[in-house]
Structure 1
């Protein structure tokens, strides 16, 4: 049966991660934002309970970031960072990030976002072992329910099967494997089965985001790190969501006392005001590419907009705000409030199967008879944005500038929706 003309004649824009027949005609067209709120072209004002896609940490339309972008653009919009060329803003941002890094004495590769960062980190892990002469170490491990963007490597290491399916092969990059989400014994078994001599790295989010807001089981990340050290496997921490304050620390590595070999970052570095991401690289990896020797190799990374001067200027202004307004301390306060509110919600609502909070990240898992998609739609009608995630889970990750009253109202709205659903 052919699709209705109203769908086929819809907008030219092909939306991301969308079943298009389900969204055409229902799309919320956002035209402006202010603080914790966004507004649609038809005048609806909505509390941004997800901070966009986990990124609007300082809220929307902050004038300081707009001014930073304007000031940079009238001076130099950007210049590439290939070979001998580099721009001053990319240098300044890299130095500042190195100073904030939980990795001691890192180098910084800048690019345009989280998917880019994962691609570069996985390539660098493989390039590292090839340079070391250990040519069989090519496999990248990742966890069940993981999300690491949708470039070729991110698609290949996804722990959400629907993001890997439909491309004619189990994995776009063949040397990948998944391990159970919290099971160290299973990880050790996978390492033994594949052979540590064949494994380049394991990639993990410290707190899984799209997979359902899954904090690590106690001791799990520390155990992963120990297995990596024991078997000479690189430990890559994907902090695209958690980096720059979302856990109450600048990086989740600090919260969990981890020392990864590579950290990927994006989203929170600019609070989404400009597309920017990158990786922090430990000396054991970067040093051989820097020694002055005839055999020193080139790591072939780079993109036109990597180290984009305006994006870097915006990132610097964003970091200023995080520090000046002491927003990391505010995140710690909001975490405590969110934890209390969600536990109260679970106690009141039989339709709430589980709640999870770690940092200013919350997940509310619903009973099977109440679809998270339907609950999220009902929340929009009440003026609040949540997002349905894997496991029939609602996402809560508002901006860091959220007030106690706004957070309480958000959870109250979820309570109202669930009460209505339970009464049906």
Structure 2
């Protein structure tokens, strides 16, 4: 085989690939026709499920008109203009601007560079330090790797982007101490997932997100909300952070659910404090950064169709409506002899930990055998089903994870 999979033990994969052949609603099918519940919405993004012909038709129509063209300098297209207007109108900050990318990792690099450049624009070039959280995941690009809080993902690369650090994900005092250790006048931004996703699904403690915002405001630090996983209904709002209505981020990174994964798109929503110098007058500062496919018209057409479906079918709120049914279905598994804990309750995502981290693969394989695909993580499995799921799907998910835990216990 020639395909080198991401995050994969290729010695094992090369001997046993699992081929997904097609999808329909919350289900996917392998080449033998076996049906599986997509318990993770692929990689946290298939919020609308699979096979939405409206999105495919919108992309096809755009491709027949103009399939792709760059947006550097003064070049634009109507789908790119429309999706940025739509996202800015739904953002939790006034007069927002939207910088488009090809995905979440791209977006983190944009936000990190914008944060540092912001203070250069203000005549404070010493403010370059970027803080993140343990267990946080911000992609695998240069800045995202350096900001990552999952130890296995940040080691064995040699030197990473300097002037970055992480603090315990659940501790406001730790963040305040780190700010004081570095010096508030040297910190540019703090990166925060409202609910930590790939790092294990850790909802924030009561008061944490508001406390983070207050600390950032006190010290003039930019708050970057990473909504790549939490956005577009996963927490029941457009960008997730609206669950804390008094929090006004400086930037929000997004991707995944903006197109329900049908085509790759990401971006950064930027508040007017950060964006203003770039828009005020000709000859002002230029942000010398951009992706080849930023504003790709066919991809933006997919996003516009996706947003239309979110609104027509009242999908966005379902992340909040379904959070309790999901947690209630999984919570009893915490008492299983092979389980360590169940985490969730904020948004339509959760995780089940195992007492023996080496047993994660057995748990995931057992759930797959029972007809559900879950996401193996360090120390457990995560679930983040499509937002179109109903109670019957949640029940199946819990039954399959129990079957996987039974396999672990019997091992």
State TM-score, norm by structure 1: 0.94
> Deviation string for 1:75-132 (max 9, x for gaps)?
1112211111111110011001111111211000011100000000000000111111
1:215 equivalent to 2:197? Answer no
Give distance in 2, aligned partners of 1:91 and 1:102: 19
Residue ranges of structure 1 left out of the alignment (5+ in a row)? 1-10
CA distance in 2 between partners of 1:70 and 1:411 (Å): 38
Q: Which residue of 1 aligns with 2:365?
A: 377
The more displaced of 374-383 and 64-73 is: 374-383
| Distance in structure 2 (CA, Å) of the matches to 1:341 and 1:370 | 25
**Residues 266-322 of structure 1 deviation map (CA, whole Å, 9 limit, x = unaligned):** 00000000110000000100111111265x110112121101101111101101111
- Contact 1:144 / 1:160 at 8 angstroms: preserved in 2? yes
Deviation readout 1:156-184 (Å, 9 max, x if unpaired)? 11111221111222xx2111111111111
Deviations 1:188-237 (A, max 9, x none): 11111111111110111111111100011111111111111111111000
The separation in 2 between residues aligned to 1:105 and 1:224, in whole angstroms, is: 23
Aligned to 2:342: 355
Match of 2:387 among 400, 405, 409: 400
Distance between the aligned counterparts of 2:279 and 2:251, measured in 1?
17
- Please give the alpha-carbon distance, in whole angstroms, between the structure 1 residues aligned to 2:151 and 2:402: 31
- C-alpha separation between the residues in 2 aligned to 1:333 and 1:208? 19
Q: CA deviation at 1:254?
A: 0.5
The counterpart of 2:169, out of the listed 175, 181, 184, is: 181
Secondary structure in 1 matching 2:318:
helix
Q: Bigger CA drift: 414-423 or 400-409?
A: 414-423
2:248 is aligned, of 246, 256, 259, to: 259
Contact 1:78 1:87 (C-alpha < 8 Å) held by counterparts: no
* 3-state SS in 2 of match to 1:218: coil
1:184-203 correspondence runs (5 A): 184-203=172-191
Runs of 4+ more than 3 Å apart: none
Output aligned runs, 1:70-219, within 5 Å: 70-169=60-159, 172-219=160-207
Q: Distance in 1 between matches of 2:353 and 2:103?
A: 29
Query: Take 1:230 and 1:83, find their aligned partners in 2: how far apart are those partners?
Result: 36
Unaligned runs of 5+ in 2: none
Tell whether the 8 Å contact from 1:155 to 1:163 is kept in structure 2 after alignment: yes
Q: Are 2:366 and 2:405, in contact at CA under 8 Å, matched by a contact in 1? A: no
Matched-pair contact (CA < 8 Å) for 1:373–1:387: no
Q: Which residue of 1 aligns with 2:275?
A: 286
Which of 322, 338, 342 does residue 310 from structure 2 map onto? Answer: 322
Structure 2: how far apart are the matches of 1:114 and 1:52? 15
Match in the other structure for 1:69? 59
Give distance in 2, aligned partners of 1:416 and 1:383. 10
2:402 to 389, 405, 415: 415
Aligned counterparts, 1:4-15, within 5 A = 11-15=1-5
Q: State the match for 2:224 in structure 1.
A: 236
Structure 1 residue aligned with 2:285: 297
The separation in 2 between residues aligned to 1:328 and 1:292, in whole angstroms, is 37
Q: TM-score, normalised by structure 2?
A: 0.97
Equivalent position of 2:237 in the other structure? 249
Q: What residue in structure 1 maps to residue 24 of structure 2?
A: 34
Aligned partners of 2:264 and 2:299 also within 8 Å:
yes
Q: 1:124 to 1:346 in 2, by over 3 A?
A: same
The 2-side partners of 1:56 and 1:421 are apart by: 29
Distance 1:229 1:369, change over 3 A: closer
> CA deviation digits over 1:369-408, x for unaligned, max 9?
7712210011112221001113x12111110111211110
Q: CA deviation at 1:260?
A: 0.6
Aligned equivalents of 2:97, 2:210: Cα separation in 1: 24
Q: CA RMSD in A?
A: 1.4
CA–CA distance in 2 between the matches of 1:256 and 1:369?
33
